[in-house]
């Protein structure tokens, strides 16, 4: 059976857990205790030398990097499809997955790591302010692409939405303001059973 090494509070792990639920793929979930630094123990580093979650294992394959894992799951378990079948849809998916990592996830991380896990005196407010502005710029660009549609590509829920959900969860905590179409998109996505089932406790 497919194994997923994860942590319940990990945004990147949550992407993979949502894809597993959406595709109804049975999996063994193995929690890596990040707070006890289990990600740096030799047995885990042998799987993922970067010492991060998620890591997937299946049929002798060990794979890390959440967006690569999403693409692998799509190739290995094509139904229900979370990727368009046409060339243009695939190209747009690749673009949006990359932009989600660069513009949303990376900046969200700069705000969420301190706000979720560090005492206030350690927060770097200037870094957090810049990250918030970058996310708001990204949302203003997405807003135009979402106008008149429910999902970004081919108007169907897909991998680009899954990649964004864990970060959209924290818009209130990040105090990021989002324009109307992005707000409606986020609410639509966060209401899915797969998102509800994987919602972190904090
Ligand atoms: N780019 C990686 C990021 C993975 C990542 O940063 N995971 C965090 C948890 S959300 C982690 O394992 N942190 C542990 C650490 O850095 O010590 C991905 O997409 O999988």
Shortest CA distance to 89 belongs to which of 148, 162, 155, 150? Answer: 155
Taking the CA of residue 7 as reference, the ligand 1 atom at the shortest distance is 9
Tell me the C-alpha to C-alpha distance, in Å, between residue 184 and each of 13, 35, 83, 91, 144: 24, 34, 22, 25, 13
pLDDT band at 190 (very low <50, low <70, confident <90, very high): very high
Evaluate: CB of 39 within 6 angstroms of ligand 1: yes
Distance CA 48, CA 40 (A): 9
Kindly report the protein residue whose alpha carbon is nearest to atom 18 of ligand 1: 65
Tell me how far the alpha carbon of residue 202 lies from the centroid of ligand 1, in angstroms.
Answer: 17
Q: What percent of the chain has pLDDT over 70?
A: 100
Q: 49, 53, 107: which to mutate for ligand 1, most atoms within 8 A of CB?
A: 53
Q: What is the pLDDT of residues 141-176, one digit of tens each?
A: 999 999 999 999 989 999 999 999 999 999 999 999
pLDDT for 35 beyond 90: yes
Tell me how far the alpha carbon of residue 113 lies from the centroid of ligand 1, in angstroms.
Answer: 11
Task: Give the CATH fold of the 2-76 domain.
Answer: Glutaredoxin (3.40.30)
pLDDT band at 21 (very low <50, low <70, confident <90, very high): very high
DSSP E strands in the chain: the ranges are: 2-6, 27-31, 55-58, 61-64
Preceding peptide of 65 cis, ω within 30°: no
- Over range 22-39, report the average pLDDT: 98
CATH of 87-197, one of 1.10.3720.10, 1.10.40.30, 1.20.1050.10, 3.40.50.720: 1.20.1050.10
Q: What is the pLDDT of residues 174-184, one digit of tens each?
A: 999 999 999 99
Write down the domain spans for the chain: 2-76, 87-197
Kindly report the protein residue whose alpha carbon is nearest to atom 10 of ligand 1: 10
In this prediction, residue 202 carries a pLDDT of: 87
Tell me how far the alpha carbon of residue 166 lies from the centroid of ligand 1, in angstroms.
Answer: 13
In this prediction, residue 161 carries a pLDDT of: 98
Looking at the DSSP bridge assignments, the partners of residue 58 are 61
Show Cβ contacts of residue 112 under 8 Å, excluding neighbours closer than 6 positions.
11, 167, 170, 173, 174
Q: What is the pLDDT of residues 55-96, one digit of tens each?
A: 999 999 999 999 999 999 999 999 999 999 999 999 999 999
> Helix, strand, coil shares of the chain as percentages rounded to 5?
60, 10, 30
Q: What percent of the chain has pLDDT over 90?
A: 99
Residue 24: how many CB atoms within 10 A of its CB? 10
Q: What is the pLDDT of residues 42-52, one digit of tens each?
A: 999 999 999 99
Tell me how far the alpha carbon of residue 42 lies from the centroid of ligand 1, in angstroms.
Answer: 17
In this prediction, residue 75 carries a pLDDT of: 96
pLDDT for 192 beyond 90: yes
Tell me how far the alpha carbon of residue 84 lies from the centroid of ligand 1, in angstroms.
Answer: 27
């Amino acid at each position: 059976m497919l194994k997923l090494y994860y942590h319940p509070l990990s945004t990147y792990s949550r992407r993979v857990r949502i894809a597993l639920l959406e595709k109804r793929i049975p999996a063994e979930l193995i929690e890596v205790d990040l707070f006890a630094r289990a990600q740096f123990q030799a047995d885990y580093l042998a799987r993922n030398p970067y010492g991060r979650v998620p890591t997937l294992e299946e049929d002798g394959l060990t794979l890390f990097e959440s967006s690569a894992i999403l693409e692998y799951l799509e190739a290995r378990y094509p139904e229900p499809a979370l990727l368009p079948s046409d060339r243009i849809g695939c190209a747009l998916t690749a673009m949006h997955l990359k932009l989600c990592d660069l513009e949303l996830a990376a900046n969200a991380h700069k705000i969420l790591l301190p706000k979720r896990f560090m005492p206030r005196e350690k927060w770097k407010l200037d870094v957090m302010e810049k990250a918030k502005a970058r996310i708001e710029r990204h949302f203003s660009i997405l807003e135009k692409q979402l106008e008149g549609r429910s999902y970004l590509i081919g108007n169907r829920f897909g991998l680009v939405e899954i990649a964004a959900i864990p970060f959209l969860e924290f818009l209130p905590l990040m105090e990021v303001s989002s324009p109307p179409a992005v707000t409606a998109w986020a609410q639509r996505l966060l209401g899915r059973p797969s998102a509800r089932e994987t919602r972190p406790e904090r």
